[in-house]
Amino acid sequence: MTIPVVTIGLVSDTHGWLDPFCLEAFDGADLIVHAGDIGRPHVLDQLREVAPLLVVKGNIDGDPLHHLPLVDVAEVAGKRVASLHIAGTPWRPKPRAVKAIRDTRADLFVVGHSHMWAVGQVEGALWVNPGAAGRQGFHKQRTAARVHLDVAGEWSLERLELGPRGRPKARVG
């Protein structure tokens, strides 16, 4: 087993509610990326208590979240992590997503909006949509993700199953 040197938590489309399991799952992360549709500022406050945060504005994020950037980038262990909320899919990326990947020179590109899990490669970047973690929307299952970077510079990805859309997943122990 390769030991990760960097762990990044990925979440999107919380729509004002954050599953407490995300805080647990992201504890000790080097960075958390929230790819938009936050819904309420307290979601960001909760995440900031766990790890540094990269966050972008989603289409539902008006006041008091209107000041958030549409695209943002951070560097972790020499890798560039960028995010944009509405980006399409890795199979049909929107032109603005391709431009954002190129402009930020992203190694990891995190998107949201569709409420659907998606992973692929675009312009050399690992593209991840962690799905929707919130209780609102058309998705059936709530999901988030963790990405690990190993000493060789390789990414590995964990899908976090949070339970059915309308309620938190029952957890044992």
CATH code where residue 18 lies: 3.60.21.10
- Say if 172 falls within a structural domain: no
Q: For residue 89, give every residue at least 6 positions away whose Cβ sits within 8 Å of its Cβ, in sequence order, or none.
A: 114, 118, 120, 129
- pLDDT (0 to 100) of residue 136: 75
Confirm whether 157 is domain-assigned.
yes
Question: Has residue 95 been placed in a domain?
Answer: yes
Encoded tokens for 29: 């992360």
Give the domain range for residue 75. 4-164
Looking at the structure of the chain, the number of domains it has is 1
Q: Which tens digits make up the pLDDT trace of 11-28?
A: 999 999 999 999 999 999
pLDDT the model gives residue 166: 73
> What pLDDT does 86 receive?
96
What's the pLDDT score for residue 173? 43
Question: What pLDDT is stored for residue 61 in this prediction?
Answer: 95
120: CB partners within 8 A, 6+ apart: 89, 90, 91, 127
State which residues of the chain have pLDDT below 50: 170, 172-173
Q: What is the model's pLDDT at position 172?
A: 45
91 within a domain of the structure (yes/no) = yes
- Integer angstrom CA distances of residue 164 from 44, 78, 97, 136: 22, 36, 29, 11
